[in-house]
Amino acid sequence: MSSHPPRLCRLPSLVVCLAGLLLAASCAALRPGPPAGLSATIPTREQVGAARLPADIAPVKAPFAMPPFRKPTFPAYTLRITERGAQPGGQVTAQIQACLDEVSRRGGGTVVVPAGQWHTGRISLKSNVNLHFEDGAELYFSGAVEDYRPAVFTRTEGVEVMSLGACLYANGQQNIAVTGRGRLIGPAQGGSVRRQTMTHDVVENVVLARTPVAQRVYEGHDGGIIFPPMFISPINCRDVYIEGVSLENTAFWNIVPVYCDGVIIRGVTVNSVGIQRGDGIDVESSRNVLIEYCTLSAGDDCFTLKAGRGEDGLRVNRPTENVVVRHCLAREGHGGITCGSETAAMIRNLYVHDCVFDNTGVGIRFKTRRPRGGGGENLTYERIRMNLKATAFHWDMLGSATHVGGLASRLPARPVTALTPHFAHITARDILVEQASQFVKVEAIPETPLRDVLLENLDIRAQKLFTAADVRGFTVRRARIQTTDARLSLLDTRQVLFDRVQFQVPGGALTTTVAGDSSAAIEFRRCTPVRPANWPGRRWAPAAAGR
């Protein structure tokens, strides 16, 4: 018979061990600061972007329903542009367009642009055709307005017009693609496209909402104004696929699907640094969109969601929804990922994850204006690394007097109308900010305050801490925030919670300014320090306003 004691006798020690582990885990969860090992779960710049593009599209996992995304297929027929008379160094607009038209009429296939330098005007993509650029192919787009006529239906800064459209344009097509490792160069500097671009005013003051779209024609005859061509912009299209190409020297926004359903953009490289309004990728009033493994260096915002502007955007009323951005690198630009400022029909169901914003201005940006309408909701951001010149999280709903006049003033609160924007239901978790000028800046509006924001599992290094105006519901949970400034400034904010936040600030003490009749229910829970130095307790209430 065995001399070992029965196993049952060991259970008490096992129970004690498990209880100890559970207690340790519980205590760790209650301690201020982010979860241990947070940095290791967030990608570095070497792990994202076009250089890391995999061959296949991995399944999409989002906090909302998304369709499956697959690479498109095309019939086997292939036509090289040289087979229809294209010669390197010459203008090949007619030959490329003839190839696209012919292949589409045959039922589909691939049009190949071989290695070499080619010059062209506007090209219209066609259904069931893949426009493929071989390695070494360079396509230079004309700087002359006449090479983009006649005017086509397009949208410029959220307003419908008839103008130059895009360098690579499509309207009402299905199953279209632009692929390959080709280099695409936008309209030449110094040409009439640049000279005649409308810059003297905002678009809604030039294109009046009461004017029928068919009469909003801007073709640039006799030196008249035009709205510049975007680089790649399908409009009213289904099943759009863009992979591998590099874009530079755009005249305006780079890749802009408008009114599209089912868009995949992957492995694209954009360089528009120094170009005014040179946004990287703008998803405008489109749905079911996947953007992955792209590298953007932009003259304006890098990744952007838009949904129409003001009265014209409300008339069209097509939201941007169901968009996933993953494994992307923003290397330079005004904002890493931006919602707005054209928000009329709403931006909803956005999921951004496993991205790096390196050397951009703002990291995660929300912008709109009182006359723009709409806004955004159900916006989620996870596992993002940021090295920034400006603010990590910025809500800007006021704009500047230059563009919206007196509406840029916070007060008085205006009546709520269809043109009043709002942002709500926003979550960001597992965020690492290596450098920023400020952690959070909220410039909302009193008639529709920013609502229901959760920032959790954060490791932040910034100069300034937190300023907010007009907020209803904002939680910062499980965070370490290192700043060189110890001040929080809150104006007309309520239901603000700092939960398990480790503030590493000069002198080890926070100071706050709380103002506004609406400010209430501001609480510090399990934080270090436990409360601001000028508070007697951990919760601020209106009665304490005089302290």
Taking 70 as the threshold, does the pLDDT of residue 13 lie above it? no
**Which pLDDT score, from 0 to 100, does residue 9 have?**
41
Which helix (H) or strand (E) covers residue 137, if one does? strand 137-141
The whole-angstrom separation of Cα 397 and Cα 418 is 15
Q: What percent of the chain has pLDDT over 70?
A: 94
Distances (CA, A) of 146 to 143, 193, 289: 9, 9, 33
Mean pLDDT across the chain: 94
Question: Alpha helix locations (H) across 211-337?
Answer: 310-316
Q: What is the mean pLDDT of residues 10-28?
A: 52
Homologous superfamily assigned to 76-227: Single-stranded right-handed beta-helix, Pectin lyase-like (2.160.20.10)
- pLDDT at position 527 is 97
pLDDT tens digits along 221-245: 999 999 999 999 999 999 999 999 9
Question: In a 3-state reduction of DSSP, which class is residue 248?
Answer: strand
pTM comes to: 0.94
Give dist(CA 234, CA 254) in Å, integer: 12
pLDDT tens profile 156-181:
999 999 999 999 999 999 999 999 99
DSSP helix/strand/coil, 50: helix
Cβ 370 vs Cβ 420: under 8 Å: yes
Cα–Cα distance measured from residue 204 to residue 523, given in angstroms and rounded to the nearest whole number: 43
pLDDT, mean of residues 140-148:
99
pLDDT at 70 over 50: yes
pLDDT in tens, 199-208: 999 999 999 9
In the beta sheet, which residues pair with residue 491?
Answer: 469, 515
Give the pLDDT confidence score for residue 541 in this predicted structure. Answer: 77
507-518 pLDDT, tens digit per residue, is 999 999 999 999
Torsion of CA 345, 174, 110, 296, to 10 degrees: 10
Q: With contact defined as beta carbons under 8 Å apart, do 361 and 390 qualify?
A: yes
Structure tokens at 381: 């951001």
pLDDT of the residue at 41: 97
pLDDT of residue 193: 99
pLDDT at 5 exceeding the cut of 50 = no
Going by their DSSP bridges, the two strands 159-163 and 152-156 should be labelled as antiparallel
Q: Any idea where the domains of the chain sit in the sequence?
A: 76-227
